[in-house]
């Protein structure tokens, strides 16, 4: 693995201000992304995965989402200190994002070629029209769409093909960091595999680093180099994909995620879902946020906030789990 860090999040906290109360969406999240690797972010809905990606892009909802503390570095620059004009230049060109619900990301009244060209012209205003057209055709071919279809509208494409167009727009300027938020949502298994294979091939070709946000642990196991498991705005476990999927020690929440999946190697009568719901983040629990749902919870868990312990290859935020080599 390349040990050159391309992006790093340090102690990031985010609050959403609502009419009723403040929602503490992220609470001290720290992550590292190395050049050329894919980092998987997994966890239930509401864990903070999308908020993490939007924070990197500095696209949190205005007047509602606020980064209250932390730092976000991209190639040595603290993005939180960049002027907005600099961020507009970075978005799309250096850091690009595939948003949730990609089916609604395309403009229904614009030809797909024009939508890709729009992204290119935004960052390359001096590029001549023939050059833009050539680039559009190249990027369409790269994602497996014939260049001849550039003059077609989104409704003329299947779900998998629309997804490819969205990815083409995201990769049009060959960004060094791609944030993929549920990129295979609403796709059947066959098309999902094709899209993920294509993203992997493009990553190898362009040298792009990727943060892949998904609920699907199978997708993560097959496509990610490292994994971060999020729960209630925190990273509760992180490490190499090998340690997360083949290691013996895990956070109880990670164990719960695995228990809710069917296992083809063992005969089981029923799956084991995680009881309860994620805590109300308008009132941050005093101790471990997973304590109310944890079958191994102790009094220490309820009253004392655990710290992330372990090494770069595997770390866990739990009082009850100890790892070799932890600090």
Question: DSSP H helical segments within 69-216, as ranges?
Answer: 84-90, 112-123, 129-142, 159-171, 189-206
Query: Would you give per-residue pLDDT tens digits along the chain (327 residues)?
Result: 567 999 999 999 999 999 989 999 999 999 999 999 999 999 999 999 999 999 999 999 988 999 999 999 999 999 999 999 999 999 999 999 998 776 788 999 999 999 999 999 999 999 999 999 999 999 999 888 999 999 999 999 988 889 889 989 998 898 999 999 998 877 778 888 888 888 888 888 888 999 999 988 989 999 999 999 999 999 999 999 999 999 999 999 999 998 877 666 666 666 777 888 999 999 888 899 999 999 999 999 999 999 999 998 999 999 998 876 554
Burial class (CB in 10 A: 0-12, 13-18, 19+), 3: exposed
- Is residue 220 within 8 A of residue 241, CB to CB? The reply is yes
pLDDT computed for residue 234 by the predictor: 97
pLDDT computed for residue 2 by the predictor: 67
Cα–Cα distance measured from residue 117 to residue 134, given in angstroms and rounded to the nearest whole number: 10
pLDDT computed for residue 285 by the predictor: 87
pLDDT computed for residue 265 by the predictor: 66
pLDDT computed for residue 230 by the predictor: 97
pLDDT computed for residue 203 by the predictor: 87
Nearest to 180 by CA among 136, 212, 138: 212
Helix (H, G, I), strand (E, B) or coil at 253: helix
- Is residue 316 within 8 A of residue 237, CB to CB? The reply is yes
- Which residue, chain included where needed, has tokens 């009132």? 283
DSSP classification of residue 91: B
- Is residue 314 within 8 A of residue 56, CB to CB? The reply is no
Query: Which domains does the chain show, CATH number per domain?
Result: 5-94+175-317 (3.40.50.300), 101-174 (no CATH)
Cα–Cα distance measured from residue 135 to residue 138, given in angstroms and rounded to the nearest whole number: 5
């Amino acid at each position: 693995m390349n040990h050159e860090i391309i992006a790093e999040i340090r102690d990031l906290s985010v609050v959403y201000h609502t009419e009723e109360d403040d929602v503490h969406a992220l609470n001290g999240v720290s992550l590292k992304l190395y050049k050329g690797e894919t980092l998987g972010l997994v966890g239930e809905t509401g864990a903070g995965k999308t908020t993490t990606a939007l924070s990197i892009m500095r696209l949190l909802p205005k007047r509602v989402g606020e980064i209250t503390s932390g730092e976000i570095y991209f190639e040595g620059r603290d993005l939180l200190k960049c002027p907005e004009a600099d961020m507009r230049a970075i978005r799309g060109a250096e850091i690009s994002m595939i948003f949730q619900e990609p089916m609604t990301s395309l403009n229904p009244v614009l030809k797909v070629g024009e939508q890709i060209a729009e992204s290119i012209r935004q960052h390359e205003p001096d590029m001549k029209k023939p050059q833009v057209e050539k680039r559009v055709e190249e990027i369409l071919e790269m994602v497996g769409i014939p260049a001849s279809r550039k003059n077609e509208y989104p409704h003329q494409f299947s779900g998998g093909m629309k997804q490819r167009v969205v990815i083409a727009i995201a990769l049009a300027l060959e960004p060094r960091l791609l944030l993929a938020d549920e990129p295979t949502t609403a796709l059947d298994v066959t098309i999902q595999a094709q899209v993920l294979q294509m993203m992997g091939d493009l990553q190898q070709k362009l040298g792009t680093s990727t943060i892949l946000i998904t609920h699907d642990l199978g997708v993560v196991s097959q496509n990610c180099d490292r994994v971060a498991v999020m729960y209630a705005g925190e990273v509760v476990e992180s490490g190499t994909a090998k340690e997360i999927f083949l290691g013996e020690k895990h956070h109880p929440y990670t164990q719960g995620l695995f228990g809710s999946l069917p296992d083809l190697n063992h005969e089981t009568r029923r799956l084991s879902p995680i009881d309860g719901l994620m805590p109300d983040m308008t009132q941050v629990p005093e101790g471990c946020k997973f304590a109310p749902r944890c079958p191994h919870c102790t009094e220490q868990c309820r009253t004392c906030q655990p710290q992330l312990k372990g090494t770069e290859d595997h770390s866990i935020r739990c009082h009850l789990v100890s790892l070799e080599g932890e600090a």
